[in-house]
A and B are shown apart, each in its own frame.
Chain A
Amino acid sequence: MIKKFILLIAVSLGLGLMARRIGLSPHQALAIAIFSASVLGTLFFWDFRLGFVFIGTSILLITRTIDLENVIKFASLEVILFLVGMMVIVGLLKEAGFFAWIVQLILRVRNLTGRKFVIIIAFVSAILSTMTSEVVSIIFMVAAVLEISDYFEVDPVPFIIITIMATNIGSAATVLGNPIGILIASKSGFTFEDFIVKAFPLSMICLAVTVLLLLIWYRKAIKQMDEHIKKLGANEMLVKLISVPPDKELKIALAVFGVTLFFISLHHRLELLWGLEPNTILLTMPLLSSGAVMIWKWRRAREYIEKDVEWWTLLFFMLLFAQAGALKFTGATDVLAGRLSGSANNSVFALTGIVLWISSIGSSLLDNVVLVAAFIPVIQSFHSLSSSLHPLWWALLFGGCFGGNITLVGSTANIVALGILEKEKNIRMTFFRWFGVGITVGIVTTVIVWMALLFMPIYR
């Protein structure tokens, strides 16, 4: 612990000093040192991360590296409020039995085979994470996979891995799947439609390729499942396992969710129609719906806000964004962006590859929000480049989501799912058991994205 702490201080100080040496101002160097301390803090001291960013941001303010006005501006309340609204709605869905309903649909599949099971859990995981955020959907998918593999007495590990990977891939498909989706949308100017037209199909292609790959990778486990299905008979027992609670509430919850999704998906058109600022509808829709939910269920409103909203994470995000903002405010990222684009000969073509691979590899080790928060001001500083920055934003989104598949700590979904696996089955995933399949899927999907971003005009 103390060793890690010393390492953290040494690395952040070292980075700060190095920044000074290559000619950055003291404020720029301090902003770099503090941001890297927060980043390393998430790596070494996950439980202390909030304490770290509180202190770091305070130091930035006291040393006048950034002013209060800009801390508030960069904290991106719009992103935070969007996430709060969505978390309340997902809380309602959870309570109303939406996820139980989905899981039960999977359990009901007729004439189950190993291959069918893999394909279903992969696509349901991806779609669910795309609509409701990966952190929530993964819990239910893992629950479903564990029930089914228990029932057929097969090793759950391959199927859990498939679920996690599909969840991570699906999380890139819309602004709802991953906090970095809304973050990128709000900073890049991409609309929900942009995501549906550009991110969704590419995610689904990557998912299909991943499923094919995993069907081959886990062919033995799938074959074994087939044998057990034959031996134990169909999944009739499973059908009876989970029931969905009284459906009136579920219907209302589904309606609320549907209306929210509908308006979110049309936000850009509505904003144009009504002459609103960009993203007004996108950001207010979850607030409107969750506001209505809190009036409808006023007795439980407090619980939604206190339990379903992850304040710990959201506060961390706000202050982390503020610290990343300090990088931009002091001009540190302009320097970095200048060097990066210089080394890439000012070509967006080359920069796309750099951003994609750095964010993919980076997010396999770091929390992807941390990484994206750091990259946003850098990409914004590329504005001097003549061509469009769109491919860079997409590279950041896909790298940040798909990189999560490379290592077992690559994304929150991995950590949540493997935590459940360990608690429920006493199975501790080892780094290398994950890494073999993780790096294969990570590289293949990142290469697909890379090629698409380079050669398909739609992404320019």
Chain B
Amino acid sequence: MKVKEIMTREVTSLSPELTVQEALGLLAKMEISGLPVIDLNGKLVGMFTEKEALEYILPSYISKVGRFIYEENPKSIKNKFSEMNKMKVSELMRKDVITTLEETTLCEVARIMLTQRSRRLPVLDKTGSVVGIVARSDILAALASEAETAK
């Protein structure tokens, strides 16, 4: 089975010019964790997820300090949050985006998701424009229905 058979074709995307506040609002409304960022020319320029936002507001050394438990949120978080809200999506998004192609097989996409720890991958056509998006849930659903029919 190929990615193009299961991907979502109507891709909701973010504009790089959007503020982070607006983008986070959209994520919350859609109840998902991340969206691709596509510029005016239809080019995929990044991926914006809740992870980038969390990484920004927490102290950058938090992964290096082992168990360093904050009982109360440090003051800096508040400041960083309001700073972040005003930033543009393009400043915070992850720029090296992991993508996949329409013709890629299901197992290969699943492998990429597992090894790269990504939840959803934008699907590109040969020209490099985004034609869909595939999430972990899409793959699971496809595999589930295959297992059903096999019975």
Contacts and interface: CB of A to CB of B under 8 A. Distances in A.
Interface in B73-96: 74-76
Nearest to B56: A423
Interface stretch (B24-32, B37-45, B64-72, B139-147): B64-72
B67 to A, nearest CB: 4
Interface stretch (A50-58, A95-103, A266-274, A432-440): A95-103
A147 interface: yes
B11 to A, nearest CB: 32
A201 interface: no
B17 to A, nearest CB: 21
Contacts of B75: 150-151
B38 to A, nearest CB: 28
Contact of A95 (B60, B66, B69, B76): B66
A237 interface: yes
B69 A242 contact: yes
Contacts of A151: 75
A234 interface: no
Contacts of A237: 72
Contacts of A420: 60-61
A401 to B, nearest CB: 23
A151 B79 CA distance: 12
Contacts of B60: 420, 423-424
A89 to B, nearest CB: 13
Interface in A46-95: 91, 94-95
Nearest to B60: A423
Nearest to B80: A424
A423 B83 CA distance: 13
B24 to A, nearest CB: 21
A240 B66 contact: no
B67 A150 contact: no
Interface residues of A, number: 26
Given A143-B61, A150-B76, A424-B60, A242 B66 contact: no
A45 B74 CA distance: 37
Given A139-B61, A143-B59, A424-B59, A245 B76 contact: no
Contact of B65 (A140, A240, A243, A423): A140
Contacts of B74: 147, 150, 241
Contacts, number: 62
B23 to A, nearest CB: 21
Contacts of B67: 94-97, 100, 245
Given A143-B59, A420-B61, A103 B68 contact: yes
A111 to B, nearest CB: 21
A240 B71 contact: yes
Given A139-B61, A142-B61, A143-B61, A424 B76 contact: yes
A304 to B, nearest CB: 11
Nearest to A308: B66
B64 A139 contact: yes
Contacts of A243: 69, 71
B75 to A, nearest CB: 5
Interface string A219-241: 00000000000000000010011
B66 A146 contact: no
B68 A100 contact: yes
Given A146-B76, A150-B76, A241 B66 contact: no
B70 A242 contact: yes
Given A139-B61, A151-B75, A99 B66 contact: yes
B5 to A, nearest CB: 39
Given A140-B65, A143-B59, A420-B60, A242 B71 contact: yes
B19 to A, nearest CB: 18
Interface string A97-117: 101100100000000000000
A49 to B, nearest CB: 21
B60 to A, nearest CB: 4
Contacts of B65: 94, 99-100, 139-140, 143
B41 to A, nearest CB: 29
Contacts of A146: 59, 76
Interface of A: 91, 94-97, 99-100, 103, 139-140, 142-143, 146-147, 150-151, 237, 240-245, 420, 423-424
5 contacts: A97-B69, A99-B66, A99-B68, A140-B65, A242-B71
Interface of B: 59-61, 64-72, 74-76
Given A97-B69, A99-B68, A140-B68, 13 more contacts: A94-B66, A94-B67, A96-B66, A100-B69, A139-B61, A139-B64, A139-B65, A143-B61, A240-B71, A241-B72, A242-B69, A243-B71, A424-B76
The 4 closest A-B pairs by CB, nearest first: A94-B66, A423-B60, A97-B67, A100-B68
